[in-house]
Structure 1
Amino acid sequence: MAKQLKSNLMVMYLAYRDRRVPWFAKIFAICVVAYAFSPVDLIPDFIPILGYLDDLILVPLGVYIAIRLFPREVIEEYRTQAEERRKLGKPKNWITGTLIIALWIALAAWSSWYIYGRLE
Protein backbone atom coordinates (compact mmCIF):
# COMPACT_ATOMS: atom_id res chain seq x y z
CA MET A 1 0.00 0.00 0.00
CA ALA A 2 2.87 2.38 0.82
CA LYS A 3 4.49 1.57 -2.52
CA GLN A 4 1.25 2.41 -4.33
CA LEU A 5 1.00 5.68 -2.38
CA LYS A 6 4.51 6.68 -3.45
CA SER A 7 3.72 5.71 -7.02
CA ASN A 8 0.52 7.77 -7.03
CA LEU A 9 2.36 10.79 -5.60
CA MET A 10 4.87 10.63 -8.41
CA VAL A 11 2.09 10.21 -10.99
CA MET A 12 0.41 13.36 -9.67
CA TYR A 13 3.74 15.19 -9.58
CA LEU A 14 4.27 14.45 -13.25
CA ALA A 15 0.69 14.72 -14.50
CA TYR A 16 -0.57 17.92 -12.89
CA ARG A 17 0.90 20.00 -15.74
CA ASP A 18 -1.11 18.12 -18.37
CA ARG A 19 -3.72 20.25 -20.15
CA ARG A 20 -6.36 17.55 -19.79
CA VAL A 21 -6.36 17.89 -15.99
CA PRO A 22 -9.01 20.33 -14.64
CA TRP A 23 -7.65 23.41 -12.85
CA PHE A 24 -9.17 22.47 -9.46
CA ALA A 25 -7.55 19.02 -9.66
CA LYS A 26 -4.22 20.67 -10.46
CA ILE A 27 -4.40 22.98 -7.45
CA PHE A 28 -5.41 20.16 -5.11
CA ALA A 29 -2.69 17.86 -6.49
CA ILE A 30 -0.03 20.57 -6.14
CA CYS A 31 -0.95 21.03 -2.48
CA VAL A 32 -0.91 17.29 -1.75
CA VAL A 33 2.36 16.65 -3.60
CA ALA A 34 4.07 19.70 -2.06
CA TYR A 35 3.07 18.60 1.42
CA ALA A 36 4.04 14.98 0.86
CA PHE A 37 7.46 15.89 -0.56
CA SER A 38 8.06 18.56 2.06
CA PRO A 39 10.94 17.77 4.42
CA VAL A 40 8.88 19.21 7.30
CA ASP A 41 5.50 17.93 8.53
CA LEU A 42 2.65 20.14 9.65
CA ILE A 43 2.52 18.07 12.83
CA PRO A 44 6.11 17.07 13.79
CA ASP A 45 6.64 13.31 14.15
CA PHE A 46 8.09 13.65 17.66
CA ILE A 47 4.64 14.59 19.02
CA PRO A 48 3.19 11.30 20.32
CA ILE A 49 0.36 9.83 18.24
CA LEU A 50 -0.54 13.13 16.50
CA GLY A 51 2.88 13.32 14.86
CA TYR A 52 2.11 10.40 12.57
CA LEU A 53 -1.51 11.41 11.96
CA ASP A 54 -0.65 13.35 8.82
CA ASP A 55 1.48 10.53 7.46
CA LEU A 56 -1.16 7.89 8.11
CA ILE A 57 -4.37 9.77 7.31
CA LEU A 58 -3.92 13.17 5.64
CA VAL A 59 -1.46 12.26 2.90
CA PRO A 60 -3.19 9.02 1.78
CA LEU A 61 -6.60 10.72 1.87
CA GLY A 62 -5.28 13.65 -0.16
CA VAL A 63 -3.71 11.31 -2.71
CA TYR A 64 -6.93 9.28 -2.99
CA ILE A 65 -9.04 12.39 -3.61
CA ALA A 66 -6.55 13.92 -6.05
CA ILE A 67 -6.23 10.73 -8.11
CA ARG A 68 -10.03 10.59 -8.36
CA LEU A 69 -10.06 14.16 -9.74
CA PHE A 70 -7.62 13.34 -12.55
CA PRO A 71 -8.90 11.90 -15.85
CA ARG A 72 -8.18 8.15 -15.97
CA GLU A 73 -6.30 8.34 -19.30
CA VAL A 74 -3.91 10.93 -17.85
CA ILE A 75 -3.18 8.74 -14.82
CA GLU A 76 -2.49 5.70 -16.98
CA GLU A 77 -0.23 7.68 -19.31
CA TYR A 78 1.97 8.95 -16.49
CA ARG A 79 2.22 5.69 -14.51
CA THR A 80 5.14 4.36 -16.57
CA GLN A 81 6.99 7.68 -16.33
CA ALA A 82 6.42 7.72 -12.59
CA GLU A 83 7.93 4.25 -12.19
CA GLU A 84 11.07 5.34 -14.04
CA ARG A 85 11.38 8.57 -12.04
CA ARG A 86 10.73 6.81 -8.73
CA LYS A 87 13.93 4.86 -9.20
CA LEU A 88 15.83 8.19 -9.24
CA GLY A 89 14.62 9.21 -5.77
CA LYS A 90 12.04 11.43 -4.11
CA PRO A 91 12.12 15.17 -4.92
CA LYS A 92 12.16 17.54 -1.96
CA ASN A 93 10.07 20.68 -1.67
CA TRP A 94 12.04 23.14 0.46
CA ILE A 95 9.62 26.02 -0.17
CA THR A 96 6.76 24.15 1.50
CA GLY A 97 9.09 23.09 4.30
CA THR A 98 10.06 26.71 4.87
CA LEU A 99 6.39 27.77 4.94
CA ILE A 100 5.56 25.09 7.52
CA ILE A 101 8.51 26.12 9.70
CA ALA A 102 7.38 29.75 9.44
CA LEU A 103 3.87 28.68 10.49
CA TRP A 104 5.27 26.92 13.58
CA ILE A 105 7.44 29.94 14.46
CA ALA A 106 4.45 32.28 14.08
CA LEU A 107 2.32 29.98 16.24
CA ALA A 108 5.05 29.84 18.92
CA ALA A 109 5.46 33.64 18.84
CA TRP A 110 1.71 34.21 19.09
CA SER A 111 1.40 31.69 21.94
CA SER A 112 4.27 33.36 23.82
CA TRP A 113 2.72 36.77 23.33
CA TYR A 114 -0.68 35.48 24.48
CA ILE A 115 0.71 33.76 27.58
CA TYR A 116 2.85 36.79 28.46
CA GLY A 117 -0.23 39.03 28.18
CA ARG A 118 -2.18 36.75 30.53
CA LEU A 119 0.60 36.70 33.12
CA GLU A 120 0.86 40.47 33.44
Structure 2
Amino acid sequence: MIMLHLSTKHPATPWYAKLFIYLILAYALSPIDLIPDFIPVIGLLDDLLLLPFGIWLALKMIPDHVKKECMQAAKDYNWKKKKNFAFAVFIIVCWLIFAVFLLRRFFL
Protein backbone atom coordinates (compact mmCIF):
# COMPACT_ATOMS: atom_id res chain seq x y z
CA MET A 1 0.00 0.00 0.00
CA ILE A 2 2.88 2.35 0.68
CA MET A 3 4.10 1.65 -2.83
CA LEU A 4 0.75 2.79 -4.24
CA HIS A 5 0.91 5.89 -2.07
CA LEU A 6 4.39 6.71 -3.34
CA SER A 7 3.41 6.03 -6.94
CA THR A 8 0.71 8.72 -6.76
CA LYS A 9 3.44 11.23 -5.99
CA HIS A 10 5.81 10.03 -8.72
CA PRO A 11 5.87 12.34 -11.77
CA ALA A 12 6.06 9.45 -14.26
CA THR A 13 2.83 7.86 -13.05
CA PRO A 14 0.02 8.55 -15.56
CA TRP A 15 -2.80 10.78 -14.39
CA TYR A 16 -5.40 8.08 -14.96
CA ALA A 17 -3.51 5.66 -12.69
CA LYS A 18 -3.35 8.31 -9.96
CA LEU A 19 -7.06 8.99 -10.34
CA PHE A 20 -7.86 5.27 -10.20
CA ILE A 21 -5.78 4.80 -7.03
CA TYR A 22 -7.64 7.68 -5.38
CA LEU A 23 -10.97 6.15 -6.43
CA ILE A 24 -9.97 2.82 -4.90
CA LEU A 25 -9.00 4.57 -1.68
CA ALA A 26 -12.28 6.50 -1.65
CA TYR A 27 -14.27 3.29 -2.17
CA ALA A 28 -12.33 1.52 0.59
CA LEU A 29 -12.98 4.31 3.08
CA SER A 30 -16.52 5.13 1.99
CA PRO A 31 -19.43 3.84 4.05
CA ILE A 32 -21.38 3.42 0.80
CA ASP A 33 -20.83 0.10 -0.97
CA LEU A 34 -22.17 -1.33 -4.22
CA ILE A 35 -23.72 -4.14 -2.19
CA PRO A 36 -24.63 -3.10 1.39
CA ASP A 37 -22.74 -4.93 4.15
CA PHE A 38 -25.91 -5.88 6.01
CA ILE A 39 -26.78 -8.40 3.28
CA PRO A 40 -25.33 -11.68 4.57
CA VAL A 41 -22.20 -13.00 2.86
CA ILE A 42 -22.69 -11.10 -0.43
CA GLY A 43 -22.38 -7.73 1.31
CA LEU A 44 -18.85 -8.50 2.45
CA LEU A 45 -17.83 -10.28 -0.74
CA ASP A 46 -17.86 -7.08 -2.76
CA ASP A 47 -15.13 -5.66 -0.49
CA LEU A 48 -13.19 -8.92 -0.64
CA LEU A 49 -13.35 -9.05 -4.43
CA LEU A 50 -13.53 -5.45 -5.69
CA LEU A 51 -10.73 -3.95 -3.61
CA PRO A 52 -8.07 -6.55 -4.47
CA PHE A 53 -9.14 -6.41 -8.12
CA GLY A 54 -8.92 -2.61 -8.07
CA ILE A 55 -5.44 -2.71 -6.52
CA TRP A 56 -4.33 -5.27 -9.10
CA LEU A 57 -5.70 -3.12 -11.91
CA ALA A 58 -3.99 -0.01 -10.51
CA LEU A 59 -0.68 -1.88 -10.40
CA LYS A 60 -1.15 -2.78 -14.07
CA MET A 61 -1.58 0.92 -14.92
CA ILE A 62 1.69 1.98 -13.28
CA PRO A 63 4.83 1.70 -15.47
CA ASP A 64 7.34 -0.95 -14.41
CA HIS A 65 10.18 1.47 -13.71
CA VAL A 66 7.92 3.51 -11.42
CA LYS A 67 6.86 0.36 -9.57
CA LYS A 68 10.52 -0.61 -9.03
CA GLU A 69 11.49 2.85 -7.78
CA CYS A 70 8.48 3.09 -5.47
CA MET A 71 8.96 -0.45 -4.16
CA GLN A 72 12.55 0.38 -3.25
CA ALA A 73 11.48 3.66 -1.65
CA ALA A 74 8.71 1.85 0.27
CA LYS A 75 11.26 -0.40 1.97
CA ASP A 76 12.97 2.64 3.47
CA TYR A 77 9.82 4.72 3.96
CA ASN A 78 9.18 6.17 7.39
CA TRP A 79 5.49 6.96 7.68
CA LYS A 80 5.38 10.22 9.61
CA LYS A 81 1.84 10.99 10.53
CA LYS A 82 1.26 14.23 12.35
CA LYS A 83 -0.94 14.01 15.39
CA ASN A 84 -3.68 16.56 15.14
CA PHE A 85 -5.30 16.85 18.54
CA ALA A 86 -7.57 19.71 17.50
CA PHE A 87 -9.16 17.52 14.83
CA ALA A 88 -9.51 14.64 17.31
CA VAL A 89 -11.30 16.95 19.75
CA PHE A 90 -13.56 18.15 16.94
CA ILE A 91 -14.53 14.55 16.05
CA ILE A 92 -15.19 13.68 19.71
CA VAL A 93 -17.37 16.77 20.14
CA CYS A 94 -19.34 15.85 17.01
CA TRP A 95 -19.95 12.32 18.34
CA LEU A 96 -21.00 13.70 21.73
CA ILE A 97 -23.47 16.11 20.11
CA PHE A 98 -24.86 13.23 18.06
CA ALA A 99 -25.15 11.03 21.18
CA VAL A 100 -26.97 13.78 23.10
CA PHE A 101 -29.32 14.26 20.16
CA LEU A 102 -30.11 10.53 20.08
CA LEU A 103 -30.62 10.37 23.84
CA ARG A 104 -32.98 13.35 23.83
CA ARG A 105 -34.84 12.11 20.77
CA PHE A 106 -35.46 8.52 21.84
CA PHE A 107 -35.12 8.36 25.62
CA LEU A 108 -36.14 11.71 27.09
Q: TM-score, normalised by structure 2?
A: 0.58
Shift in alpha-carbon separation, 1:39–1:25, aligned structure 2, 3 A: closer
Match of 1:12 in 2: 4
Query: Once superposed, which parts of structure 1, at least 4 consecutive aligned residues long, lie more than 6 Å away?
Result: 86-89
User: 2:95 maps to which residue?
Assistant: none
1:40 aligns with 2:39: no
- TM score, norm. by length of structure 1: 0.53
User: Pairwise CA RMSD of aligned residues?
Assistant: 2.7
Q: Quick check: 1:57 aligned with 2:53? A: no
Distance change in 2, residues 1:86/1:58 (3 Å): farther
- Find out whether 1:77 has 2:69 as its counterpart: yes
* Max Rg structure: 2
What one-letter code is carried by the residue in structure 2 that aligns with 1:12? L
% identity of equivalent residues: 35
Q: 3-state SS of the aligned residue for 1:21?
A: coil
